[in-house]
Structure 1
Amino acid sequence: MPPRRVTIRDVARAAGVSTSTVSEALSGQGRIASETRERVRQVADEIGYVASAAARSLRLGRSGALGLYVPDRTVGFEYYVQLSRGAAEAALTHGLALTLVPAWDNVEQLRALHIDGLIVADPAVGDPVLAVLRSLPVPMVTVERDLGPDAGPVGVVASDHLTATGELLDHVVATGATSIAVVAPGDETSFGQQIREACRRYAGVRIVDIPLAYRPEDATAAVDEALASGADALVLVPDGSVVVALHHLRERGIRVPDDVLLASYVDGPSLQITRPRITAVDIDPRATGEAAVEALVDVVVHGRQDVVETLVPSRLVVRESTRR
């Protein structure tokens, strides 16, 4: 049998005081002697007492949970898995749970969510679920800027995709590419807008459209369109789409990097084990998730009033797919 959880009554019994005294000592409240407060805390540590997050939330009038909403049909993408992991780990350090909010079409159920704050990843213009989430009476932190006219986040966590895309394209050009096709999502998100703006600064770059939440056939069709235009380098932007592209190129008998250079904007564990390994930009989704939770905790727990933007650094990781 698992060991019984140590309760506040156990601390009171071991310290020889009442449960109310223990509660005041551990919460830092009440008018009790400093010696008593210190003795109670020492006893609590010695017998392994851990405060109940649920009880603390109830006392403070909070749910003890934060929500995380990611774009529809992307929950299995490596980027969002790592972002969710970072957010969950950060929430746990504050005694908070993390609730994944689905792209649900039941408005009343969404409005009934019992959360203290919400993180929205890659908010997109025209997302009907996002419109409902914005109406919830809880603070919201966005991962990337919300382009909606009624956006009002209490914090923004973002990366400089404009600069990072430029660094990736500079590398591909320096490797010898003369006709680059960038397979990119639309400009309904800040992420997509920055990618496209960076591409427009290069004369030899052509943008091929693909949904952010793509299907495998979307990626293969985009690759075929890019190759038909004479591209000698392909940059796939949506998470994981470059792996689909690599398999499709092999099926067509096209060698990477001998016949065509191949890169991804979003890095991930799978790109480090492909053959060849794929050049990509590491935008650190785990750190992004952590930063989003910290920004939300500053508001929910510590009462911060001003809107703060956190910039998560990125880095170009060059691998064999763009080396000749």
Structure 2
Amino acid sequence: MPSRRVTIRDVARAAGVSTTTVSEALSGQGRIAVETRERVRRVAEEIGYVASAAARSLRLGRSGALGLYVPDRTVGFEYYVQLSRGAAEAALTHGMALTLVPAWDNVEQLRALHIDGLIVADPAVGDPVLEVLRSLPVPMVTVEVDLSPGAQPAGVVASDHVSATGELLDHVVATGAGSIAVLAPGEETSFGRQIRAVCRRYAGIRVVDIPLAYRPEDATGAVDAALAAGADALVLVPDGSAIVALHHLQGRGIRVPDDLLLASYVDGPSLQIARPRITAVDIDPRGTGEAAVRALVDIVVHSRRDVVETRVPSRLHVRESTRA
């Protein structure tokens, strides 16, 4: 027969304190001595006590879940998969679950979400779902700055895209490329706006439009437009679009890097095993997801009131695709 489950009363009896003290010690709540808190936690571990997430959430008046909203049509994009993974792992370390919030058109169902806080990845101006999510009575942390008028998130986690884009473009310019085309999303997101602002600093760099949540035909069409304008180097910004571009170029008989240089702003596993391997910027999506959860936990659990701002470092990886 299975052994009896250890309860909070067992911990209280073993530690010689009340069940209220045990509850406060294990939840980090209440005003009890540090020595008592540590002793209760040590006893709980020794006798194998595992707190019930449901009971804890009920006691604290919280759902025990955080929401994550990502742009529409990005399911399967490597960046958002890694961001979601980092967020889910970080949530579990804090005893919380992560709920993926889709681009849903049922307003009432969105407003009925039972979550303690929300993470929004790449908020875009004019997103109708985001308008509904902002009305929820829970704190919001955005991954990148929300450019919408009046947006007041409780926290922001972002990369320095200005510096990272400049480093990547400086590298491509240094290869001797004569005509560089940057395939970039619009300025409805902070991500796209920063990258386009950097491109305007370089004479002779052409920006070609491509949606952030692109379809394969969007990427191939943008590549063809850049080639028609005489580009001898392509920098693709949206996650995964450089792989689509590489396959399209190879289908046209264009060799990378012999005939044309190719780089990506967003790095990912597929770029590291492509032939040739593709130069890219690692903006650490997994670390970004973890940072977003930490910021939200600070607000939800620890009642932090000031706006939490976190900067995620990035790193340029130079590979064969830009070695002329």
TM-score range, shorter chain: over 0.9
Q: Deviations over 1:170-189 (max 9, x none)?
A: 10010110100111111100
1:246 matched to which residue of 2?
246
**For residues 47 and 289 of structure 1, what CA distance do their matches in structure 2 show?**
34
**For residues 73 and 3 of structure 1, what CA distance do their matches in structure 2 show?**
48
**For residues 2 and 208 of structure 2, what CA distance do their matches in structure 1 show?**
56
1:134 matched to which residue of 2?
134
Identity %: 88
Please say which of residues 29-38 and 222-231 is displaced more in the overlay: 29-38
1:257 aligns with 2:249: no
User: What do you get for the CA RMSD once the two structures are aligned?
Assistant: 2.4
Deviation at 1:30, TM superposition (A): 8.1
Please say which of residues 2-11 and 303-312 is displaced more in the overlay: 2-11
Amino acid at match of 2:124: A
Matches within 5 A, 1:282-301: 282-301=282-301
Matches within 5 A, 1:293-312: 293-312=293-312
**For residues 151 and 199 of structure 1, what CA distance do their matches in structure 2 show?**
27
TM-score normalised by the chain length of structure 1:
0.93
1:119 matched to which residue of 2?
119
Matches within 5 A, 1:36-51: 41-51=41-51
Deviation at 1:56, TM superposition (A): 1.4
Q: Deviations over 1:264-289 (max 9, x none)?
A: 00000110000000000010011111
**For residues 309 and 2 of structure 2, what CA distance do their matches in structure 1 show?**
44
SS where residue 296 of structure 2 aligns?
helix
Change (3 A) 1:281 1:4: farther
Runs (5+) with no aligned partner, structure 1: none
Q: Deviations over 1:153-205 (max 9, x none)?
A: 01111111111111111100101101001111111000000111111111121
Deviation at 1:48, TM superposition (A): 1.3
1:170 aligns with 2:170: yes
Please say which of residues 51-60 and 107-116 is displaced more in the overlay: 51-60
Q: Deviations over 1:192-240 (max 9, x none)?
A: 0011111111112101111111111111111111101000000111000
Amino acid at match of 1:224: D
Runs (5+) with no aligned partner, structure 2: none
Deviation at 1:46, TM superposition (A): 1.7
Change (3 A) 1:2 1:244: farther
Please say which of residues 203-212 and 41-50 is displaced more in the overlay: 41-50
SS where residue 187 of structure 1 aligns?
coil
**For residues 146 and 218 of structure 1, what CA distance do their matches in structure 2 show?**
25
Please say which of residues 32-41 and 182-191 is displaced more in the overlay: 32-41
Change (3 A) 1:23 1:142: closer
SS where residue 82 of structure 2 aligns?
helix
Amino acid at match of 2:282: D
Q: Deviations over 1:58-81 (max 9, x none)?
A: 111111111100000112110011
2:96 matched to which residue of 1?
96
Deviation at 1:20, TM superposition (A): 5.6
2:106 matched to which residue of 1?
106
SS where residue 164 of structure 1 aligns?
helix
Deviation at 1:45, TM superposition (A): 1.7
Q: How many residues align?
A: 324
SS where residue 293 of structure 2 aligns?
helix
Please say which of residues 151-160 and 43-52 is displaced more in the overlay: 43-52
Q: Deviations over 1:104-127 (max 9, x none)?
A: 000000001111111100000010
2:57 matched to which residue of 1?
57
1:151 matched to which residue of 2?
151
Please say which of residues 55-64 and 101-110 is displaced more in the overlay: 55-64
Deviation at 1:57, TM superposition (A): 1.5
Q: Deviations over 1:126-175 (max 9, x none)?
A: 10000000111111110000000120101111111111111111100101
Deviation at 1:304, TM superposition (A): 1.1
**For residues 31 and 129 of structure 2, what CA distance do their matches in structure 1 show?**
48
**For residues 271 and 195 of structure 1, what CA distance do their matches in structure 2 show?**
20
Change (3 A) 1:305 1:18: closer
Amino acid at match of 1:268: G
Change (3 A) 1:24 1:117: closer
1:85 aligns with 2:88: no
1:203 aligns with 2:203: yes
**For residues 189 and 34 of structure 1, what CA distance do their matches in structure 2 show?**
46
SS where residue 262 of structure 2 aligns?
strand
